[in-house]
Structure 1
């Protein structure tokens, strides 16, 4: 049976929040900075509704990703991929190198490696090639006639939605989940971590740290570049 290794991205392989980096990229980009002001105008009512507890954090984040992609309305696939490649170039040096090495080691041990994240797929593909992951699952950017198709909306891969994506990807495969592993920094990925026999909490948030300690899970410490 196949053994798999599942990796979250934001806060795990990459120590920061991807969307914050992309916002700054849009804000300072010589060609797209006008779109940043439009985004902020449209996003402010959404954020206000979230702060007033009218909408959930998950819905607020989904709307943010949809509004962000409207900045590329009418843009070609090549233009969008170039924008995300530029963003990726600035992020690459901040990736956790010890985890990148661990991914390579797992591949050498015949693990099927999966990057699963709410980040946009063009960004993830610009950061990683087939030498890192066998499969990248993220928030898809849809095209029609070679240009961005904003009418398709954004289907964010997040929290328990990751489980649906994982099961769909492996629906016709026999997986040894007990010998598989998963890496994440966030309690929102608890279901993904519980799916495998070897969960790893990567510099975890307080709630995940408590869960990891009570279950004797491996805890990755950035300070030590490995495990506690």
Structure 2
């Protein structure tokens, strides 16, 4: 079996998802009060990051965690409806050539995995109707009908992606040499190295240098 691994932020979607989420929360007529709760909680971590006391990865993890916590008083249906609203504004900005490539690979019997740090309900809403075999993202946990704010939040990022990929395909025979992977960031380097056909999509400087050195395909808009 051949697989095709796709990142989302900066790859299938050309912008930073979290910035879009923040903008929606800030201006939403119903949930803009959530934005205030998010800012009050997140501000100390952000300032610590700007002062180089906190690493970027920790700051990003906390940003997503505190974003979810701003919905502490909302129901599951309200949260999922909000993400669907955001998704509806993102769909038209997907990179059409990559979406076409994904569909072609599916027709060619590749197993398609979308693996991203974005929230799962957002990813599922963006790709509703797409024939994707597996969507992996950062999980939102609930207790009954409300957010389980006491559970540990885990962002799917960097090496965690590799762990998930290996676990998912552990009992399957994978033709890694003829498999493909798509990402824009050097943080996905291990994922790209896992396959025989890595593609750097509008890569950051570090990944661009690695891709050029290894003669990987580089996709530019």
Fold similarity call, TM over 0.5: yes
Cα distance in 2 between the residues matched to 1:133 and 1:153: 28
| TM-score normalised by L of structure 1 | 0.94
151-160 or 195-204, larger mean C-alpha shift: 151-160
Q: CA deviation at 1:130?
A: 5.5
2:185 is the counterpart of 1:200? no
Q: Which runs of 5+ in 1 are unaligned?
A: 223-228
Q: CA deviation at 1:143?
A: 1.1
Q: Which runs of 5+ in 2 are unaligned?
A: none
Does structure 2 conserve the Cα–Cα contact (< 8 Å) formed by 1:103 and 1:132?
Answer: no
163-172 or 196-205, larger mean C-alpha shift: 163-172
Cα distance in 2 between the residues matched to 1:160 and 1:91: 27
TM alignment of 1:165-180, pairs within 5 A: 165-180=164-179
Cα distance in 1 between the residues matched to 2:131 and 2:97: 13
Say which SS state the counterpart of residue 131 (structure 1) adopts: coil
Question: 1:69 corresponds to which residue?
Answer: 68
2:123 is the counterpart of 1:124? yes
Q: CA deviation at 1:182?
A: 0.2
Question: 1:218 corresponds to which residue?
Answer: 217
Cα distance in 2 between the residues matched to 1:44 and 1:186: 26
Runs of 4+ in 1 over 4 A off after TM superposition: none
Question: 1:58 corresponds to which residue?
Answer: 57
TM alignment of 1:99-114, pairs within 5 A: 99-114=98-113
TM alignment of 1:26-105, pairs within 5 A: 26-105=25-104
Q: CA RMSD in A?
A: 1.0
Q: CA deviation at 1:74?
A: 3.0
Say which SS state the counterpart of residue 118 (structure 1) adopts: strand
Cα distance in 2 between the residues matched to 1:135 and 1:74: 30
Question: 2:24 corresponds to which residue?
Answer: 25
Say which SS state the counterpart of residue 152 (structure 1) adopts: coil
| TM-score normalised by L of structure 2 | 0.97
Q: How many residues align?
A: 221
Query: What does the per-residue CA deviation read over 1:62-96, in whole Å, with 9 as the maximum and x for residues that have no partner?
Result: 11111000111132221111000000001111000
Does structure 2 conserve the Cα–Cα contact (< 8 Å) formed by 1:163 and 1:191?
Answer: yes
Does structure 2 conserve the Cα–Cα contact (< 8 Å) formed by 1:9 and 1:117?
Answer: yes
Question: 1:16 corresponds to which residue?
Answer: 15
